[in-house]
């Protein structure tokens, strides 16, 4: 907006009036986040007021958090809170209010176990316990026993951190450095791709097929110097692929032949609501695998707990580094999770959720098949569909009142043509399955 165009909107030429005009334009969307405002002298000249008057208005707007002044670089509209999100997260955050939102990726709140009984039992036990010490073990003993009983390999060390992305970031900080190459599945989870960018790591894409990551693509990644490999062994986000035992053995053979054996970091993000059995390269590659299991989808995102198991060389360094930050993950929440993992009603609730998620994904796949759209078999909370034109597909779906996630946020490398969408089937109401399938089938061909 030019100085004169802006001046024409101002009816009260006091500092308060000028600031109020700018604020209204921002809230109405006439001025967008990042838009440059005229300089103080330019607007003062257009308004016929002193530069001090405009400067006072700019100062009031900066104090209110609407603009950002950078001296000679000028003043611009300050981005809103959503701009704090990493780039790929922002793609998932734009949800029209009228849409059935199948884009978020999270669990169905109605399928999470009831926390109230566990909280009451843990609170009663905690009152009788001594206060925790800063140097106590980071994992409470009852939780560690349960984790070890279900871990897919014999881990030298186990710890817990504040969610899967926190776990992956902390592991990567121990095993690779700025500028290193990391092999990552393509497509992959947007937060993980953003994390790699944030850490200054170079992605080497490893495409998948119906059996898991392709061995020849992994071999190429190792030849070009990948020092770590990131894998989702089951219920892959976004495709739903679970790596088969035969494919795991093939990947292990490729990794053993590497001139410099890389670290393998596994993200079991679906955890206990995955229908496929827990699996890992850890038993095939002793001492080189760090496995992460999240409890967000199964027991609740607000617990903020992911377990990490692997070699002592990595886990001990990770625990030591956390002592200089958060210290440990709340032992109170750890005891809540341990209670849920041992409580028969909570175990049954998680089993019901696992069955419901599988049924919802299968129901959508069956409905889409009736419209001539094939969805490969899979597991977890998501379905991944190729579309002719991503923008056209999203527009068609939003017009039908359905919101899905844009595929490009999941891609380590852009597709050669067309695009994809991810549908979070885990939150798809049964009554909407047929309507959503029809909308998706039309969008796939748009």
| Top-confidence residue, 221 or 94 | 221
Give the mean pLDDT of 16-24.
Answer: 88
pLDDT at 26: 83
Class in CATH terms, 3-81: mainly alpha
Instruction: State the pairing for strand pair 202-209/402-403.
Output: unpaired
- Structural class in CATH, domain 116-344: alpha beta
pLDDT of residue 326: 93
For residues 286-309, average pLDDT: 97
**Which tens digit of pLDDT belongs to each residue from 84-96?**
556 665 555 554 5
Tokens for 394, please give them.
């999203």
In tens, the pLDDT along 361-380 reads 999 999 999 999 999 999 99
> Of 392, 400, 411, 425, nearest to 91 (Cα)?
411
Q: Cα 178 to the chain's mean position, in Å?
A: 22
Q: What is the per-residue DSSP string for 324-348?
A: TTT-S--HHHHHHHHHHHH-HHHHH
Phi-psi map region of 401: left, alpha, beta (phi>0 left; psi -120 to 50 alpha): left
Alpha carbon 298 to its chain's center: 16
Q: How far apart are CA 15 and CA 134, in angstroms?
A: 53
The reported pLDDT for the residue numbered 75 is 87
Helix runs in 380-430, H state only? 390-399
Q: Is the pLDDT of residue 131 over 80?
A: no
pTM above 0.85, yes or no: no
* Average pLDDT over the chain, rounded to an integer: 92
Q: Fold match between 3-81 and 84-111+347-444?
A: no
> What strand order describes the sheet that includes 157-161?
157-161, 306-310, 289-294, 263-268, 226-231, 181-186, 202-209, 212-213
Q: b or e along 91-119 (b: 16 or more beta carbons within 10 Å of the residue's beta carbon)? A: bbeeeeeebbebbebebbeebbbebeebe
Q: What's the CA gap between 146 and 151, in Å, rounded?
A: 9
- Neighbour count for residue 372 (Cβ, 10 Å): 9
Q: Are 85 and 190 in contact (CB under 8 A)?
A: no
Q: What is the mean pLDDT of residues 347-352?
A: 98
Q: Where are the domains of the chain?
A: 3-81, 84-111+347-444, 116-344
- Third-level CATH fold of 84-111+347-444: 3.90.1150
Rounded to an integer, what distance in angstroms lies between the CA atom of residue 12 and that of residue 47?
10
| Mean pLDDT for the stretch of residues 157-168 | 97
The pLDDT value recorded for residue 84 is: 55
Query: What does the pLDDT read at residue 342?
Result: 97
Of 248, 378, 356, the closest CA to residue 297 belongs to: 356
Which of the two residues, 41 and 299, has the higher pLDDT score?
299
Residue 42: predicted pLDDT:
92
In Å, how far are 79, 218, 263, 278, 370 from 254, measured between CA atoms? 46, 7, 13, 21, 40
d(CA 410, CA 397): 19
String of DSSP letters for 157-191: EEEEESSHHHHHHHHHHHH--TT-EEEEEES--HH
pLDDT band, residue 76 (cuts 50/70/90): confident
What percentage of the chain carries pLDDT values higher than 90?
Answer: 75
The reported pLDDT for the residue numbered 36 is 87
């Amino acid at each position: 907006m030019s100085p004169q165009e802006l001046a024409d909107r101002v009816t009260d030429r006091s500092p308060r009036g000028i600031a109020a005009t700018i604020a209204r334009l921002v809230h109405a969307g006439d001025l967008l986040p990042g838009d440059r405002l005229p300089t103080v002298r330019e607007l003062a000249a257009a308004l016929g007021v002193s530069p001090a008057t405009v400067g006072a208005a700019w100062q009031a707007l900066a104090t209110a958090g609407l603009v950002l002044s950078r001296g000679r670089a000028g003043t611009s509209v300050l981005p809103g809170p959503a701009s704090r999100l990493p780039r790929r997260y922002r793609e998932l955050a734009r949800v029209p209010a009228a849409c059935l939102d199948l884009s978020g990726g999270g669990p169905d709140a109605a399928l999470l176990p009831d926390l109230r009984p566990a909280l009451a039992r843990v609170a009663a036990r905690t009152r009788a316990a001594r206060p925790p010490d800063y140097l106590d073990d980071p994992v409470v003993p009852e939780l560690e026993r349960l984790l070890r009983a279900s871990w897919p390999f014999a881990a030298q060390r186990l710890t817990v951190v504040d969610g899967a992305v926190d776990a992956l970031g902390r592991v990567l900080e121990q095993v690779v450095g700025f500028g290193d190459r990391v092999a990552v599945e393509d497509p992959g989870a947007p937060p993980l791709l953003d994390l790699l960018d944030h850490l200054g790591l170079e992605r080497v894409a490893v495409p998948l097929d119906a059996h898991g990551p392709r061995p020849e693509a992994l071999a190429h990644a190792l030849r070009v110097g990948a020092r770590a490999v990131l894998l989702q062994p089951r219920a892959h986000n976004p495709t739903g692929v679970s790596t088969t035992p035969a494919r795991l053995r093939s990947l292990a053979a490729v990794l053993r032949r590497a001139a410099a054996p890389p670290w393998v970091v596994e993200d079991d993000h679906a955890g206990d609501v995955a229908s496929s059995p827990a699996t890992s390269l850890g038993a095939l590659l002793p001492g080189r695998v760090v496995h992460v299991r999240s409890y967000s989808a199964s027991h609740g995102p607000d617990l903020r707990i992911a377990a990490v198991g692997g070699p002592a060389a990595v886990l001990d360094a990770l625990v030591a580094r956390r002592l200089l930050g958060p210290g440990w993950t709340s032992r109170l929440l750890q005891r809540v999770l341990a209670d849920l993992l041992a409580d028969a009603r909570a175990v049954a609730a998680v089993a019901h959720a696992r069955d419901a998620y599988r049924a919802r994904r299968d129901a959508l796949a069956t409905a889409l098949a009736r419209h001539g759209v094939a969805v490969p078999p899979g597991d977890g909370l998501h379905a991944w569909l190729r579309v002719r034109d991503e923008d056209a597909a999203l527009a068609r779906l939003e017009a039908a009142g359905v919101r899905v996630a844009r595929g490009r946020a999941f891609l380590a490398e852009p597709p050669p043509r067309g695009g994809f969408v991810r549908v979070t089937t885990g939150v798809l109401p049964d009554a909407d399955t047929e309507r959503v399938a029809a909308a998706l089938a039309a969008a796939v061909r748009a």
